[in-house]
Amino acid sequence: MSSEAEDLILVDADDKEMGFLSKAECHNEGGVLHRAFSLFLFNQQGELLLQQRSAAKRLWPGFWSNSICSHPRRGESMLMATQRRLRDELNIEASLEFVYKFSYQEAFGDLGSENELCHVYFGRVADRLRPNENEIDGIRFVAPQDLAREFAAAPAKFTPWFKLEWQTLLEEHRDKLADYCSA
């Protein structure tokens, strides 16, 4: 499973590999820019799978987020890393479609920061999932229109990258999003 000691891939602003650093060190203080990914998984009804991050997570514990967010490890391609996390977190396999990538930096009080160049993917899943209780406290599917209302009513319940990614998907990738749901 995920470990603070695993080596993550450091990158520059153009996503060029620059070296490696432990996950813990990547997230200390203001963070060090590293490669990451976010998966947006939809069921056949066009609902988005959300996960509640484990209370044991260092950053944003208990917050609701997109389906899966993680990092490729040293020596892993993005394909290998995304498939590993699908198995590790939800005990499934799924085909994924790349949508876009972006950088963001966000501090979580004085506990550390995210500083990521994040690759965003879409995929489809069945409703029957077996979340790993060590990684995820809860899952649920939500219709896009209900998600918009939840963001408006209680934005502090959601991870910052999820809110940024969803807004970008609505504004810049609405056609591709429509292939998976009716946002």
- Tell me 73's DSSP state: B
State how far Cα 99 lies from the chain centre: 13
Query: H or E element: which one contains 59?
Result: none
Looking at residue 142, its amino acid is V
* Residue matched to tokens 């389906």: 67
**Residue in 26, 69, 118, 181 annotated catalytic:** 69
Note whether 41 and 94 are within 8 A (CB).
yes
First to last CA, the chain: 33
Angle 124-95-147 (CA atoms, 0-180°, nearest 5)?
30
Which of 140, 143, 161, 139 minimizes the C-alpha distance to 70?
A: 161
Residue 116 known to be catalytic: yes
**Residue in 116, 118, 165, 181 annotated catalytic:** 116
Query: H or E element: which one contains 98?
Result: strand 96-107
Note whether 23 and 71 are within 8 A (CB).
yes
Residue 150 known to be catalytic: no
Catalytic site positions: 69, 116
